Structure 1
Amino acid sequence: MKLLLILAVSSFSLALCHAACFVAPIETEGKEGKPNVCTDVYDAKTYPIGSQWNTAHCKECWCSDNGMVCCDRFGGIAVMEGCISVVDPETCKYKFYKEDDPSTLCTV
């Protein structure tokens, strides 16, 4: 069981590197063996089916009977010519900095 969990977490880590959304299975708790909670892959907190929450990693997640779905809150990839895009972890929005001077914000 632990090996399965390790493989699942590793798979999700790879998915996070390449996709804006990912799906994780729900876990079984209780005597009936029915799936009834989602475990946040970032902080290991559990959430009941029907829950929605934001993670500290700029993800919005939902827990349903079909699994946990988490998507980027900042909306994919952003490009501005001559600038480098960086996700601000406090606002979960892109900030753009000049390529030749990364300490200076780009103006629109």
Structure 2
Amino acid sequence: MKVLLSLSLLCLTLALCHTYCFTRPAKLEFINGVMMLPRDCIDSYDGSKHSSGSRWNSANCLECSCRGGEMSCCSRYGGTASSPGCKAVVNPETCEYEFYRIDDPSEPCF
């Protein structure tokens, strides 16, 4: 039983170490009648504007950066996580996984 628990915790730890990332390329826009790449980024989640070279945390638990109008973001909570008999849910305030029993979602697993 201890071996199974140890293997489950190891799998959980490895799953939490991996994050996912994506990039939103800059879109050409007309500036003073000339087609140009923008210098700033618009966060597609909340519409906020960020200058080139800046970094910020989005409301969706993402760490984002802006370079020449291109927005790159990575998750702050890691990739996917699982534990037998439990459901993983990302807490939007802490950006960390919380685990709840599948048969009783009001009960934490750990």
Q: Report the equivalent of 1:12.
A: none
Match among 63, 71, 81 for residue 66 of structure 2: 63
Specify every segment of 5 or more residues in structure 1 that has no aligned partner in the other structure, as ranges: 1-18
Distance across 2 between alignment mates of 1:29 and 1:38:
15
CA displacement at 1:66 relative to structure 2: 7.0
Which structure ranks higher in relative contact order (CA pairs < 8 Å, sequence separation ≥ 6)? 2
Distance across 2 between alignment mates of 1:25 and 1:62:
12
Aligned length: 89
Aligned pairs for 1:70-89 (under 5 A) are 70-89=73-92
The one-character-per-residue Cα deviations of 1:18-67 (angstroms, maximum 9, x if unpaired) are: x9221112355855735300110001111111000001111110101371
Structure showing greater radius of gyration is: 2
Q: Is the 8 A contact 2:41 2:71 kept in 1?
A: yes
| CA RMSD, 1 decimal | 2.1
Match among 83, 103, 108 for residue 105 of structure 1: 108
The percentage of aligned residue pairs carrying the same residue is 45
Q: Is the 8 A contact 1:29 1:35 kept in 2?
A: no
Give the TM-score taking structure 2 as reference length.
Answer: 0.71
Match among 70, 91, 95 for residue 92 of structure 1: 95
The structure with the greater share of residues assigned to strand is: 1
Distance across 2 between alignment mates of 1:48 and 1:30:
16
